[in-house]
Structure 1
Amino acid sequence: MTNKQIKTDLLILHITVLVWGFTGVLGALISVSAAHLVWYRVLIAFVTLFVYFKWKKTDIRVSREVFFKLFFTGAVVGLHWILFFQAIKSSTVSVTLVCLSSITLFTAIFEPIINRKKISPLEIFTGLMIIAGICLIFTFESQYTTGIICGLASAVCASLFSIINSRQVQNRPAPIIGFYELFGAWIWISLYLAVSGNFNQEMRLRLSDLFYLLILGILCTSVAYVAGVSVMKFLSAFRVALITNLEPVYGIILAFLFFGKREQMTAGFYGGSVMILGAIFLYPVVKNKMGRGRAGR
């Protein structure tokens, strides 16, 4: 793995995270419920990928074992997005995106357990700093309790499927992984909507909804999802999670541009956000210094 390839993957990941930051804005603009929104999103996304595969004449066949692994991972992906958009509709884009930063803590805990690695004290400390920031936000933004809880639960799901995908991408192309996981997410959400009786008139879209959903499904899902998974081949799940935590920065800026005063928060919110983002930016610096210290011994 060359430094040039690492820099390229990091650039791709940053652009992908910027696009992901825009999904929060789109979620606030689309009028249908979170579950209906995600149902449309993954439908557009996996159909887009299918058309791309047909155009490129790509062989998308996988073994039964791999299919079921990706299919069930799709359930986690679908749940993550439903919780994410529900958090936005229950609070604000800014609150949701900051809560999503807790993915760092959950990844620091889950990745060593799943991959049977030693837990890094530095990663745990970074995660705890993020949780402290979220607790501060909880204190000052208590009217958004439901949104904050949904945002944290969404982060748990995101952490889990990021770790799973970091292993899957070692053995198969990212677009194949994305296609089967998105298909799985659509099937699981369809089953939920059918059982709960939510295939109803509330799914009707406005013309503006259709426009925003096409952007969300094609650019922010098909393209960005595959790009995000592909870089996991050479970047660790924790490093991906750290850069993904820049999503609040991009998303909050975009939210201010689109919604103005609606996205203005209390001083406590911004204090918590500084704690979270500070931990994110300081982590690679401290880790690099620790690595140099070991190398010099």
Structure 2
Amino acid sequence: MSVASLVRLITLAAIWGGSFLFMRIAANPLGPAVLIEARVFFAAITLLVIALYLGKKLRFVTHSKHFFILGFFNSALPFLLFAYSAQVLNVSSLAVLNSTAPIWGAIIAAIWTKTALTKNVTMGLVLGIAGVAVLVGLDVSNIGEEAILPIIAATAASVSYGIATNYAKNAPQVAAFDNAHGSMWASAIIVLPLLAFFPVRQEPAMDIFTSVVLLGVVCTGIAYLLYFRLIADIGPSSALSVTFLIPVFGILWGHLFLGEAISLHTLIGSVLVIAGTMLVTGFSLRKTDRQKALVKGISE
């Protein structure tokens, strides 16, 4: 891996770890629906500007069904669920729960193809569940029973990423950039009707507005470009390692900017989840085929 690719990898992990910080800041004042509509809209506009600059034409109508399916499972639904959870859970818990997406992807793949789970996948699943259980126990003890539903929602968001991963295996052959661009517009259309039922809660202050813009432009639009550039430069297996770095930055940003404590429970839970994810994905620089399929559906 070149120095430039390593810098891109760390930058991407830092950006996606920061997405949970920005959601934590803006979720309560704006509400999940307004926050996520703004996120996907700013991301879509960012990708549109880049597409115009690169001369890329999006065939949205031709692949509309594909974009709506991908947009729902890979953006709209998980983003909304994480935004709902961000009203209660801290940044580190959100980032760690997000990193379980490959685990759910492997389980769904086994069900989808009617194949038995391997020993490594089963062991990884046990470790991942143990890590989540440690985090759940910590959050419930610190926050109270009101943390239970947000934890379930954040876990469901990761399951949604797993569904998107498996859908992507058999999806129409669409360019990676077009997938990112088209799915963002589809997500904006999907979330838009919710604004009639869940309007903005308060006029956003400058820090909230800045968080929303950064969440959409940087953590979604630009992050996708970095991600696909990494896949092109170093391959999907190496790019997958970003999954293991996101919780590190989530914990760091939460501690630095929101004063969230880094407890022993947080570290233990994080290590268990990351170890489980590595076992489930069979992470190795020598294995690319299976990871190429897994990596398609993973996002913030």
Same fold (TM over 0.5): yes
Partner letter of residue 27 of structure 1?
M
Label 1:59 to 1:104 Cα distance change in 2 as closer, same or farther (>3 A). closer
Partner letter of residue 245 of structure 2?
L
**Computing the radius of gyration over CA atoms, which structure comes out larger, 1 or 2?**
1
- Aligned-pair distance for 1:240? 6.1
Q: Decide which of 13, 18, 23 is 1:17's aligned counterpart.
A: 13
* 1:273 and 2:270 matched: yes
Q: Secondary structure at the residue paired with 2:87?
A: helix
User: Using the alignment, how far apart are the partners of 2:225 and 2:250 within structure 1?
Assistant: 20
Gaps of 5+ in 1: 291-297
Partner letter of residue 247 of structure 1?
I
User: Using the alignment, how far apart are the partners of 1:18 and 1:116 within structure 2?
Assistant: 37
Gaps of 5+ in 2: 288-300
Label 1:13 to 1:161 Cα distance change in 2 as closer, same or farther (>3 A). farther
* Residues 186-213 of structure 1 deviation map (CA, whole Å, 9 limit, x = unaligned): 111112333xx22x35264322222222
Q: Decide which of 146, 150, 166 is 1:147's aligned counterpart.
A: 150
Label 1:284 to 1:114 Cα distance change in 2 as closer, same or farther (>3 A). closer
* 1:59 and 2:61 matched: no
Label 1:177 to 1:8 Cα distance change in 2 as closer, same or farther (>3 A). farther
Partner residue, 2:212:
213
- Aligned-pair distance for 1:288? 7.7
* Residues 265-290 of structure 1 deviation map (CA, whole Å, 9 limit, x = unaligned): 65434332232234446778886899
Label 1:133 to 1:193 Cα distance change in 2 as closer, same or farther (>3 A). same
Question: How many residue pairs end up in the alignment?
Answer: 278
User: Using the alignment, how far apart are the partners of 1:108 and 1:11 within structure 2?
Assistant: 29
- Aligned-pair distance for 1:20? 0.4
Partner letter of residue 25 of structure 1?
L
Label 1:69 to 1:104 Cα distance change in 2 as closer, same or farther (>3 A). same
Partner residue, 1:159:
162
Q: Is the 8 A contact 2:40 2:185 kept in 1?
A: yes
Q: Is the 8 A contact 1:22 1:254 kept in 2?
A: yes
User: Using the alignment, how far apart are the partners of 1:223 and 1:101 within structure 2?
Assistant: 20
User: Using the alignment, how far apart are the partners of 2:100 and 2:247 within structure 1?
Assistant: 11
Q: Secondary structure at the residue paired with 2:236?
A: coil
User: Using the alignment, how far apart are the partners of 2:159 and 2:40 within structure 1?
Assistant: 20
Partner residue, 1:50:
48
Q: Is the 8 A contact 2:122 2:280 kept in 1?
A: no
Q: Decide which of 30, 33, 36 is 2:31's aligned counterpart.
A: 33
* Residues 166-225 of structure 1 deviation map (CA, whole Å, 9 limit, x = unaligned): 555x9332221011111111111112333xx22x35264322222222211111111112
Partner letter of residue 235 of structure 1?
P
User: Using the alignment, how far apart are the partners of 2:4 and 2:166 within structure 1?
Assistant: 21
More helix, by proportion:
1
Pairing 1:97-246 to 2, within 5 Å after superposition: 97-114=95-112, 119-142=117-140, 143=144, 144-165=147-168, 168=171, 171-194=173-196, 197-198=197-198, 200-202=199-201, 204-229=203-228, 234-235=235-236, 243-246=242-245
Percent sequence identity is 21
RMSD: 3.3
Partner residue, 1:295:
none
